[in-house]
A and B are shown apart, each in its own frame.
Chain A
Amino acid sequence: MSASATLVLIVGLGLIAWASARARAFALAPQGRNRPRPAEQGWYAALWTAIPALLIVGVWAWSKPFFVRNDVLNHPAAQDLPSEAIDRAAVLSEARDLANGAIDAAFNPLAETLAMPWVAAEQKYALVGLILAIATAVGGGAFGMLRLKPGFRAGPRVERFALMIAAAASLIAIVTTAGIVLSLVVESMRFFALVSPVEFLFGTTWAPETSAAGTAAGSYGATPLFWGTVFIGAIIAMLVAVPLGLMSAIYLTQYAKPKIRAWIKPLLEVLAGVPTVVYGYFAALTVAPAVRDIAAAVGVTSASSESALAAGVVMGVMIVPFVSSMADDALTAVPRAMRDGALALGSTTSETIRQVLLPAALPGVVGGVLLAVSRAIGETMIVVMAAGLAANLTLNPLASVTTVTAQIVQLLTGDQEFESAKTLAAFALGLVLFVVTLGLNMAALSLVKAYREAYE
């Protein structure tokens, strides 16, 4: 019996418990105001039936392979297994794949011999698991039903269970985040044991070399990466995204007729939904060559086919909808009375926007731009495809530069020794990115929040 069939069976038993507890509550309980609510009684019985049984299924799914393997190893034919651990594991995994039908023929004849015992063991323990699950479901259900005496209040207990589920779900999210941060920190510490933090943060040469576990080779000065990230994500991209986004927000909130607005807003949102990899090849295949050709046409011969400008411009375009929607929110939050006050003094629409609305909306707009920067510096696909991998410390937008994210990809793809400085450097870079992004987000959110409160 397969795992999914077991699950269906347990849910079915839960439904039966629900229906019968509910029916019993209707039949037995005293009528009138204090009657226990049948639905709660039903849920109480159903939860006692299903939840412990589901836990057993989970535990069994996790521990069954150990039992199966143990059985197979105790089989007489297992005497012939090679003594080397790696070879043993190879034969056993072949036997398992044969047993599961994942492969049709084995390379190793011994695996063929062990496949049959493997199937037998699988079946045996699957049956044990099924019986355990059914027994737990029936036992749990019976326990729940027995407690459902008249006067027993099932409601609060069901509520408490719902609360626990919700709390557990949010806890999982928090624990996952904490785990990621912890692993970033721990791996970064191991990196900093090999390379000094000062060199990493302030060194200007980035040339990691492959080395053995526990050693560092090459140089790990990440300043060119940080600069490339800032140059593309915070400077070039924002030079594109802030004016375009702000203007479009101004147009949409101040000039556009409601009908036009109803058309353009969704269009902008479509732009926000384009996968970044599409922007990436647009940048690499269209914009970057165009930038190089234009540069060549005006006489700049050194222009690279991968440039900070191409990546930054495309990234800026990608961020436009985001900036526009943040600025839109900030502008609409400025009270209409402010606009009326300026207009009533004889301001033209553009004076009103420039001198009253924008200054009033500034904190909100700045907050939005900070969020946009934090997005841009974490963006990966476009820079991997269009910015290049050369760690140049340059002000020339036509030169190829590289970013933190592009280097992380570079460090972790291909053959690698996991304990070497080259791999661990990716975690240190990730940690820097995480800290900066977190700081930006917190600053932005507090700005936006303070701004909202100012007009409430």
Chain B
Amino acid sequence: MTAAKITARDVSVYYGEKQALESVSIDIATEHVTAFIGPSGCGKSTFLRCFNRMNDTIIGARCTGRIELDGEDIYGAEMDVVQLRARVGMVFQKPNPFPKSIYENVAYGPRIHGLAMDKTELDRIVELALTRAGLWDEVKDRLSESGTSLSGGQQQRLCIARAIAVDPEVILMDEPCSALDPIATAKIEDLINQLRGRYAIVIVTHNMQQAARVSQRTAFFHLGKLIEFGETSELFTNPRAEKTKDYITGRYG
């Protein structure tokens, strides 16, 4: 067992009075893609947003417990949330490119974090990010066109490139394919396979086949609780918990 990139211990999240996540503990490693599955409303997105403290932006949301990134408490007083989010990138359910050019979308992160000394270096970062996101060949001749002029699948890969451009250690993906057609979905899944090992990837999905295709570790959530966490192949073929079995055999959810 390798050292965990992220360790979460007894994490609970509340929206006002309502508890959305109950005492979840999990370890996330860089060499695996980790999938979160479970019926909708069970707290997958809520948990994911704890890792980059996006829950901070939701009024009334409160998080307890401890989450460490490389041993550092991400909710600790030392932690700068701006730095944290540069280290933990996020891709959203619906592609959300900025209403700027393709180039500017990717260059945005490196610019605000001051990652490039000059234009040449910035160009190189943009090209590398777009290449890793598998988009370079499609957009290299139209970098100045608006990011919103791309197709849905390309927009989502642009958002992945945008996240990659700041050179994160972790990439969080919240149902990144739910707004895409099957072909675009297949491309994103390929991409996730290629990115594995370079970044710790956590993907939320409601599609169990997708979890089986892209992940090596799967966590099953139900009503705010982590029911089962283990190797993907193991969890799908030989679930330990009764609830997991019911869910993967399609008895509910």
A residues contacting B by CB (< 8 A) are 257-258, 335, 337-348, 351, 355-356, 359-360, 454
Asked if B99 CB lies within 8 Å of chain A CBs, one says yes
| Other A-B pairs beyond A341-B97, A345-B85, A345-B166, 11, CB < 8 Å | A341-B92, A341-B162, A344-B85, A344-B90, A344-B92, A345-B89, A345-B163, A346-B82, A346-B83, A351-B112, A359-B100
Least CB distance, B163 to chain A, in whole angstroms: 7
The interface size bin for chain B is: 20 to 34
User: Closest approach, in angstroms, between the C-beta of A447 and any C-beta of chain B?
Assistant: 15
Q: Which residues of A contact B247 (CB under 8 A)?
A: none
Pick from B51-59, B188-196, B199-207, B235-243 the stretch touching chain A. B51-59
Which residues in chain B, 56-89, are within 8 Å of chain A measured between CB atoms? Answer: 57, 59, 82-86, 89
Q: Which residues of B contact A347 (CB under 8 A)?
A: 82, 112
Q: Is B8 an interface residue (CB 8 A)?
A: no
User: Is B152 in the interface zone, CB < 8 Å from A?
Assistant: no
> B209 CB to closest chain A CB, in angstroms?
26
Q: Are A346 and B94 in contact (CB under 8 A)?
A: no
Q: Find out whether the CB atom of A342 lies under 8 angstroms from the CB atom of B98.
A: yes
- Chain A minimum-CB-distance residue to B54: A344
Q: How far is the CB of A351 from chain B (nearest CB, A)?
A: 6
Quick one: which of B129-168 are within 8 Å of A by CB? Answer: 159, 162-163, 166
Q: Are the CB atoms of A335 and B96 closer together than 8 Å?
A: yes
| Given A258-B59, A351-B112, CB of A343 within 8 Å of CB of B98 | no
B98 to chain A, nearest CB (A): 6
CB neighbours (8 Å) of B98 from chain A are 338, 341-342, 356, 359-360
Instruction: Label chain A's interface by main secondary structure.
Output: helix
Minimum CB–CB distance from B16 to chain A (whole Å) comes to 13
In the complex, the 9 A-B pairs of residues with the closest C-beta atoms, listed nearest first = A346-B85, A337-B96, A346-B86, A344-B90, A341-B96, A345-B109, A346-B82, A360-B99, A356-B98
Nearest-Cβ distance from residue A456 to partner chain B, whole angstroms: 13
Residues 175-219 of B, flagged 1 when their CB comes within 8 A of A and 0 if not, give 000000000000000000000000000000000000000000000
Q: Please name all residues of chain A whose beta carbon is closer than 8 Å to the beta carbon of B52 when the two chains form the complex.
A: 344
**Which among A339, A343, A345, A348 has the highest number of chain B CB atoms within 10 Å?**
A345
Q: Which residue of B lies closest to A357 (CB)?
A: B98
- Which of chain A's residues has its CB closest to B108's CB? A345
Q: How far is the CB of B68 from chain A (nearest CB, A)?
A: 19
Question: Is the pair A348, B54 in contact by a Cβ cutoff of 8 Å?
Answer: no
Cβ contact within 8 Å between B99 and A340: no
Residues on A with beta carbons closer than 8 Å to the beta carbon of B100: 359
Alpha-carbon gap, A339 to B162, bound state (A): 14
